[in-house]
């Protein structure tokens, strides 16, 4: 199989679906604490051309990986049996079957322009596009949140990353022109208009090129720390602690857990403040909230790194209204809110600072809020 037009033996494909990557405006490491997030879907997306097969074989080909297709027997799928990019689509088929859906194999061609290892949810995009395709082709009738939950279970149970629900909800439920205000406790969601162009603003994304690997244990340790703190405080989740109760709660915790709790509580408050500002149409006022969020991730949560700090500091010094790392951290991408006039100057300043520091040039682009998972053909 070499392309979408030849999914299997020249037969016509049954359909083409797309699901995007995302940036998160604010609300980092809050999703596994039942908290709030405010992601935006990127125009970059994974596209899957899918044709069902009746022989129980899942045949996967990636435009980016190239090479031969990966052939898997659906009935033999189990966590730990698939490596590399193919584990993401395989995870979704395994998860559907584990949930009791009578689904089988398919010929799948994936073509994605979501940068990988950049903290922009390239893996969630692949999971969500497969989930959307199987949902339609098998008439499963799953709604957006159910598809996102399924894709998250695929990542947790098959891929082995204990991620929260933000990336998958963003990839499925975001809509064009809006940020998604999501309560990760009950998946209550609201589309919040983000008319950057109307406000004369741009959202600059800087992919630092530093690869993170959330499976390496650091993410799981942070999550476990938050859960331990909540248990020590007698709370279902850190979401249940409000800013007024923070000082007293910190006094009751061991020193190593205090910064984690401080980040989560202040970050949830930053999301609510950001949404209030967007509702009021005051987009520029978002800037300082982004920068404060970065300081909290750098100093309290400690998931920043020299490259993301340099990108944030340089962007702000070059006139950005605010900037922060986005996503899980340990590298990945930075977002900066900039005026349209300063977009190029800020991007150039960050690139120059990277060169001066001896880092590889970052990839920069301006993001516009795009649509979530959808059928294209
Ligand atoms: C990764 C995870 C998300 C979320 C972010 C941090 O992207 O997949 O669930 O926890 O990190 O906000």
DSSP string, 75-142: GG--TTS--GGGHHHHHHHHHHHHTT-----EEEEEEE-SPTTSSS-HHHHHHHHHHHHHHHHTT---
CA of 65 to the centre of ligand 1 (A): 24
166 lines ligand 1 (CB under 6 A): yes
Q: Which atom of ligand 1 is nearest to the CA of 328?
A: 11
Question: Quick one: which of 376, 294, 372 has its CA closest to 43?
Answer: 372
CA of 326 to the centre of ligand 1 (A): 9
**What is the sign of the dihedral through the CA atoms of 2, 363, 28 and 83?**
positive
CA of 214 to the centre of ligand 1 (A): 9
Residue nearest to atom 2 of ligand 1 (CA): 163
164 lines ligand 1 (CB under 6 A): yes
How does DSSP classify residue 11? B
Catalytic machinery residues: 167
Render each residue's pLDDT in the chain as its tens digit; 377 residues: 334 444 445 565 699 999 999 999 999 999 999 999 999 999 999 999 999 999 999 999 999 999 999 999 999 999 999 999 999 999 999 999 999 999 999 999 999 999 998 999 999 999 999 999 999 999 999 999 999 999 999 999 999 999 999 999 999 999 999 999 999 999 999 999 999 999 999 999 999 999 866 547 899 999 999 999 999 999 999 999 999 999 999 999 999 999 999 999 999 999 999 999 999 999 999 999 999 999 999 999 999 999 999 999 999 999 999 999 999 999 999 999 999 999 999 999 999 999 999 999 999 999 999 999 999 99
| Helical segments of 283-357, H only | 286-296, 306-317, 343-357
The pLDDT value given to residue 214: 57
CA distance 246 to 265: 8
Q: How many CA atoms lie within 13 A of 106 on its CB side?
A: 27
Q: Which atom of ligand 1 is nearest to the CA of 121?
A: 7
CA of 348 to the centre of ligand 1 (A): 28
* Site to substitute for ligand 1 among 117, 166, 187, 263, most atoms within 8 A of C-beta: 166
167 lines ligand 1 (CB under 6 A): yes
Question: Quick one: which of 123, 171, 136, 148 has its CA closest to 51?
Answer: 136
Residue nearest to atom 11 of ligand 1 (CA): 328
CA of 57 to the centre of ligand 1 (A): 32
Residue nearest to atom 1 of ligand 1 (CA): 328
Q: Which atom of ligand 1 is nearest to the CA of 166?
A: 9
CA distance 24 to 187: 16
CA–CA distances in Å: residue 185 to residues 31, 166, 299: 8, 11, 26
pTM (two decimals): 0.96
Residue nearest to atom 5 of ligand 1 (CA): 328
29 lines ligand 1 (CB under 6 A): yes
* Site to substitute for ligand 1 among 27, 31, 172, most atoms within 8 A of C-beta: 31
Three-state DSSP at 352 gives helix
26 lines ligand 1 (CB under 6 A): no
CA of 219 to the centre of ligand 1 (A): 9
């Amino acid at each position: 199989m070499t392309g979408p037009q030849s999914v299997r033996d020249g037969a016509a494909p049954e359909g083409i679906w797309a699901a995007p990557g995302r940036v998160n405006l604010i609300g980092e490491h809050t999703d596994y604490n039942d908290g709030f997030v405010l992601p935006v879907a990127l125009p970059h997306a994974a596209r899957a051309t899918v044709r069902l097969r009746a022989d129980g074989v899942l045949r996967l080909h990636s435009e980016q990986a190239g090479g031969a297709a990966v052939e898997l027997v659906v009935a033999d799928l189990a966590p730990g049996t698939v490596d590399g990019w193919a584990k993401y689509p395989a995870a979704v088929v395994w998860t559907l079957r584990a949930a009791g859906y009578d689904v089988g194999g398919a010929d799948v061609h994936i073509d994605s322009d979501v940068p990988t290892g950049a903290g922009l949810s390239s893996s969630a995009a692949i999971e969500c596009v497969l989930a959307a395709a199987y949902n339609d082709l098998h008439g499963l009738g799953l709604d957006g949140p159910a598809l996102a939950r399924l894709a998250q279970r695929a990542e947790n149970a098959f891929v082995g990353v204990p991620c929260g629900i933000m990336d998958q909800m963003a990839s499925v439920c975001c809509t064009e022109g809006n940020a998604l205000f999501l309560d990760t406790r009950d998946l209550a969601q609201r589309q919040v208009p983000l008319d950057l162009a109307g406000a004369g603003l741009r959202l600059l994304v800087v992919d630092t090129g530093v690869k993170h690997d959330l499976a390496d244990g650091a993410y799981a340790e942070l999550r476990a720390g938050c859960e331990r703190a909540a248990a020590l405080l007698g709370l279902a989740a850190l979401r249940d602690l409000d800013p007024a109760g923070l000082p007293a709660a910190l006094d009751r915790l061991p020193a190593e857990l205090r910064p984690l709790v401080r980040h989560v509580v202040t970050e949830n408050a930053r999301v609510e403040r950001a949404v209030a500002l967007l509702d009021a149409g005051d987009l520029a006022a978002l800037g300082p909230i982004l920068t404060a969020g970065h300081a909290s991730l750098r100093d309290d949560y400690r998931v920043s790194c020299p490259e993301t700090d340099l990108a944030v500091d340089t962007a702000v010094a070059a006139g950005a209204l605010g900037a922060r790392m986005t996503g899980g951290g340990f590298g990945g991408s930075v977002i900066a809110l900039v005026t349209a006039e300063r977009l190029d100057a800020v991007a150039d300043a960050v690139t120059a600072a990277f060169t001066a520091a001896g880092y590889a040039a970052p990839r920069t682009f301006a993001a516009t809020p795009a649509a979530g998972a959808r059928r294209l053909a």
